Amino acid sequence: MSDAMGCESTREKVEVLHDWPLPRTRSELQSFLGTAVYVQRFCHDFASDAGPLFDMLKDSPKRLINWNAEQRKNFRSLKDKIGSTPVLAIPDFSKAFGMRMDASDHAIGGVLFQEEGRGDEIIERPIAFGGRQYKDAEKNYYIRGK
């Protein structure tokens, strides 16, 4: 959906993802992640939380999933971020763009934004979020090289 204020994900998809129970099987996790990718562009740091969950799919050929505490935390964090997705601003090409990037040991992410307002009332309106998990070889790079 979009209007003069910006673009946002559909409330129905967000509610489905936010209410999703902890997947018990590989198939349930694939369904959750497949649906979550739909709102990825609205979700800050999507790759940081979703990356370890995608890793569970490639590391576990079994049908049942054994969750550890860190994976449960990533799942809850991703659901919380999806539940609080911002309205993305429609870009104004007559204004300057800003970008913030962040890297961790397993993912990189960023936000493209434009400033809005005047004086002390300036806010950064996100236009797009992006990110991805590192490939296996990239995980070996020195942090400044990632």
Angle at 47 (CA atoms; ends 145, 76), nearest 5 degrees? 140
Q: What's the pLDDT score for residue 3?
A: 44
Handedness of CA 103, 109, 113, 119 (dihedral sign): negative
CB 85 within 8 A of CB 14: yes
pTM of the predicted structure, to 2 decimals: 0.62
CA distance 75 to 73: 5
CA distance 132 to 36: 14
Domain boundaries, the chain: 11-83, 98-145
Q: What's the pLDDT score for residue 85?
A: 63
Residues of the chain where predicted confidence (pLDDT) is lower than 70: 1-9, 59-61, 85-86, 143-146
Fold of 11-83: Alpha-Beta Plaits (3.30.70)
Q: Which residues are paired to 142 by β-bridges?
A: none
Residue with tokens 């790079």: 141
Backbone phi, psi, residue 57, to 5°? -70, -40
